[in-house]
Chain A
Amino acid sequence: KNEVEQSPQNLTAQEGEFITINCSYSVGISALHWLQQHPGGGIVSLFMLSSGKKKHGRLIATINIQEKHSSLHITASHPRDSAVYICAVRSETSGSRLTFGEGTQLTVNP
Chain B
Amino acid sequence: EAGVAQSPRYKIIEKRQSVAFWCNPISGHATLYWYQQILGQGPKLLIQFQNNGVVDDSQLPKDRFSAERLKGVDSTLKIQPAKLEDSAVYLCASSRDWYTQYFGPGTRLTVL
Interface string of A47-74 (1 = CB under 8 A from B): 0100000000000000000000000000
Asked if B45 CB lies within 8 Å of chain A CBs, one says yes
Q: Which A residues are CB-close (under 8 A) to B102?
A: 45
Do the beta carbons of B45 and A102 come within 8 Å of each other? no
Q: Return the chain A residue nearest B6 by Cβ.
A: A41
Alpha-carbon distance A40/B107, docked complex (angstroms):
9
Do the beta carbons of B42 and A96 come within 8 Å of each other? no
The residues in B between 29 and 48 inclusive whose CB is less than 8 angstroms from any CB of A are: 31, 37, 40-45, 48
Q: Please report whether the interface of chain B is mostly helix, strand, loop or mixed according to DSSP.
A: strand
Q: Return the chain A residue nearest B42 by Cβ.
A: A100
Residue total for A at the interface (Cβ-Cβ under 8 A): 20
Alpha-carbon distance A64/B105, docked complex (angstroms):
32
Do the beta carbons of B98 and A42 come within 8 Å of each other? no
Given A98-B45, A100-B43, verify A90-B98 contact (CB < 8 Å): yes
Other-chain residue from B45, B91, B108 in contact with A97 (beta carbon distance below 8 A): B45
Interface string of B47-74 (1 = CB under 8 A from A): 0100000011000000000000000000
Other-chain residue from A40, A88, A90 in contact with B42 (beta carbon distance below 8 A): A88
Q: Which B residues are CB-close (under 8 A) to A88?
A: 42
List A residues at the B interface (Cβ < 8 Å). Answer: 4, 31, 40-45, 48, 86, 88, 90, 95-98, 100-103
